[in-house]
């Protein structure tokens, strides 16, 4: 089968996150299985216009803003009618494929943007996108078969009027540990993610400031790059915070294994892939009780959910470290739950949906 994917970013984009990892891990498995997969996406600084990544043909067009109309133009000129299925992936803005694509379409939605617009865009543009444009864009897809990764996002879509929604779980690309690894001697907290406003790394630092009063030997590791890097370093001055910047996969898993807990303050998530990855390294998560995280974190079973503020986050972390029985329970349960996730399963379930759509 020939599969065409339209997405804002590819896995090599500096701003790639969990959604792009999901798409790439699924697409490369389809390619290995004998399918021909093409991704139309935006370019970025020093990026090749075209390259093959793990069997997936990546075609980069324009930039973050122009890719939407350039992808339509490129499709109409070079690709129309040549694919068995077209996957339109939503990242802040869709490609509106129902207006121009001839093949069957699957809409892939990890999360709605909603309040994230207020962190990423200035007013009044943020208000226009949240209250006018996003609802208007999504109305184009209410009759299109749609895949999402969590029940939280499914409920959001149902409220808008979507009719055919399938949940396909996230995966991980490594084997979960067989047992809990040796942890750091001091209470060690970890934050991993793009350092942008919507990911609330500043909340982790603010919570840590309070934690240090109760747990003087505690330390915080922050992994990631982004526009907020220098601002966050300044905010963490005189605290036991280490900034690692961008790290490769091997280093990321090493830090995940050594930390006692991963912190996930967030505005909203589709799922929170970093939660499942940390769980597979024997590390539970403490995060805000928001869309996506209330799916990936089973409160008081595999981790803890808190009210959406640094004080509540700090209180939960202190409880976690002072209650050894609770900490052991969450750690063991998190590792065990992670063993039910794999990208092989994700790719197979996604393809089943595609085959069903084509055969309708």
Tally the domains of the chain.
2
Assess whether 156 and 231 both reside in one domain: no
Percentages of the chain per state (helix, strand, coil), in multiples of 5: 40, 20, 40
Let me know if 120 is exposed, middle or buried by CB neighbors in 10 A (0-12, 13-18, 19+): middle
Residue 192 shares a structural domain with residue 252: yes
Instruction: Give the rounded percent of residues in the chain with a pLDDT score beyond 90.
Output: 99
- Asked if 122 and 212 sit in the same domain, the reply is no
Domain limits at 326? 188-338
Report pLDDT digits (tens) over 46-89: 999 999 999 999 999 999 999 999 999 999 999 999 999 999 99
Q: Are residues 346 and 284 in the same domain?
A: no
What integer pLDDT is reported at residue 67 of this predicted model?
A: 98
**Stretch 295-302: mean pLDDT, rounded?**
98
Determine, yes or no, domain membership for 181: no
- Judge if 201 and 285 occupy the same domain: yes
Residue 164 CA to residue 230 CA, distance in Å, equals 44
Domain containing 70 — which CATH number? 3.40.50.2000
**Residue 182 is assigned to a structural domain of this protein:** no
List all residues 6 or more positions away from 234 whose beta carbon is below 8 Å from its beta carbon. none
pTM above 0.85, yes or no: yes
Residues 149 and 97 in one domain: yes
Q: For residue 234, is it within any domain?
A: yes
Segment 347-358 mean pLDDT: 98
pLDDT of residue 360 exceeding 90, the answer is: no
Stretch 180-187: mean pLDDT: 98
The contacts of residue 342 (CB under 8 Å, 6+ apart) are 171, 172
256 and 215 in a common domain: yes
Both 329 and 220 in one domain: the answer is yes
Start-end of H helices in 141-292: 151-160, 201-214, 229-235, 249-258, 273-280
Convert the pLDDT of each residue in 120-134 to its tens digit.
Answer: 999 999 999 999 999
Residues 212 and 124 in one domain: no
Say if 264 falls within a structural domain: yes
* 110 and 228 together in one domain: no
Query: What pLDDT is attached to residue 286?
Result: 98
Residue 178 inside a domain? The answer is no
- 331 and 353 inside one domain: no
Q: Are residues 314 and 348 in the same domain?
A: no
The tokens for 175 are 């084997």
Query: DSSP labels for 186-203?
Result: S-EEEEES--SGGG-HHH
């Amino acid at each position: 089968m020939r599969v065409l994917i339209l997405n804002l970013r590819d896995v090599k984009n500096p701003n790639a996150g969990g959604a792009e990892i999901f798409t790439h891990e699924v697409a490369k498995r389809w390619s290995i299985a004998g399918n021909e997969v093409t991704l139309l996406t935006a370019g970025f600084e020093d990026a090749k216009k075209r390259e093959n990544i793990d069997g997936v043909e990546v075609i980069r067009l324009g930039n973050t803003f122009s890719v939407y109309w350039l992808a339509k133009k490129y499709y109409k000129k070079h690709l129309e009618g040549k694919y068995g299925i077209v996957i339109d992936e939503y990242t802040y803005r869709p490609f509106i494929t129902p207006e121009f694509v001839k093949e069957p379409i699957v809409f892939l939605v990890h999360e709605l943007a909603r309040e994230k617009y207020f962190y990423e865009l200035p007013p009044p543009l943020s208000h226009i996108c949240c209250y006018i444009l996003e609802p208007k864009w999504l109305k184009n897809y209410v009759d299109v078969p749609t895949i999402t990764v969590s029940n939280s996002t499914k409920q959001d879509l149902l409220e808008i009027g979507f009719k055919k929604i399938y949940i396909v779980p996230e995966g991980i690309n490594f084997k979960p540990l067989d047992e809990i690894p040796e942890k750091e001697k001091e209470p060690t907290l970890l934050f991993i993610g793009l350092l942008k406003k919507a990911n609330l790394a500043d909340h982790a630092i603010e919570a840590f400031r309070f934690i240090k009063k109760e747990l003087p030997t505690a330390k915080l590791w922050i992994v990631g790059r982004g526009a907020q890097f220098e601002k966050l370093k300044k905010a963490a001055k005189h605290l036991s915070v280490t900034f690692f910047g961008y790290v490769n996969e091997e280093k990321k898993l090493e830090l995940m294994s050594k930390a006692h807990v991963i912190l996930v303050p967030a505005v909203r998530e589709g799922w929170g892939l970093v939660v499942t990855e940390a769980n597979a390294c024997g590390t539970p998560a403490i995060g805000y009780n928001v869309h996506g995280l209330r799916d990936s974190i089973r409160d008081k079973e595999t981790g803890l959910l808190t009210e959406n503020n640094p004080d509540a986050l700090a209180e939960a972390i202190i409880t976690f470290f002072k209650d050894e029985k609770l900490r052991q329970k969450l750690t063991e349960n998190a590792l065990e739950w992670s063993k039910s996730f794999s990208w092989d399963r994700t790719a197979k379930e996604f393809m089943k949906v595609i085959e069903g759509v084509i055969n309708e």
